[in-house]
Amino acid sequence: MPNAEGRREMKLAWNVAHRRRREAAFSFCAVSVIALAGLGLSAIFWRQVVWEANATIAQQIDYEDGVLCAKFGFPQGTEKHLACKLDLLDLRRDDEKLVAANSLP
């Protein structure tokens, strides 16, 4: 059985080891929280980027359809112009469905 000095050294060593385990656990938790927060912010950022890209594409398609309908002789602001744009939108959707149905998974 160790003497009083040996027990004190063993207790000190145990306390140091215990403190280091707590510090390691705290560090792991801190890194995990930071990583999860980063992932959450990244997801929000990319969701916004995708939304803005889709909005830009929709605006470009609307502009191109308007120009094409004007070239077909349907003045902007008329019902025929609007009907032309709706027909072009239907054609685009049908084309997307066709491509999706015939593409490889």
Digit-coded pLDDT (tens) for 63-87: 999 999 999 999 998 999 999 999 9
Q: Which two tokens stand for residue 46?
A: 């990319």
Q: Which domain holds residue 85?
A: 4-102
- Distance from C-alpha of 16 to C-alpha of 74, rounded to nearest angstrom: 84
DSSP3 helix / strand / coil % (the chain, rounded to 5): 90, 0, 10
pTM for the model stands at: 0.56
Give residue 54's pLDDT: 93
Query: What are the pLDDT tens digits along the chain (105 aa)?
Result: 567 776 787 777 787 777 888 888 888 888 888 888 877 778 788 888 899 999 999 999 999 999 999 999 999 989 999 999 999 999 999 999 999 888 877
Cβ–Cβ contacts within 10 Å for residue 81, how many?
A: 18
Overall number of domains in the chain = 1
Q: How far apart are the first and last CA of the chain?
A: 72
Q: If you count DSSP H runs as helices and E runs as strands, how many of each does the chain have, helices first? A: 2, 0
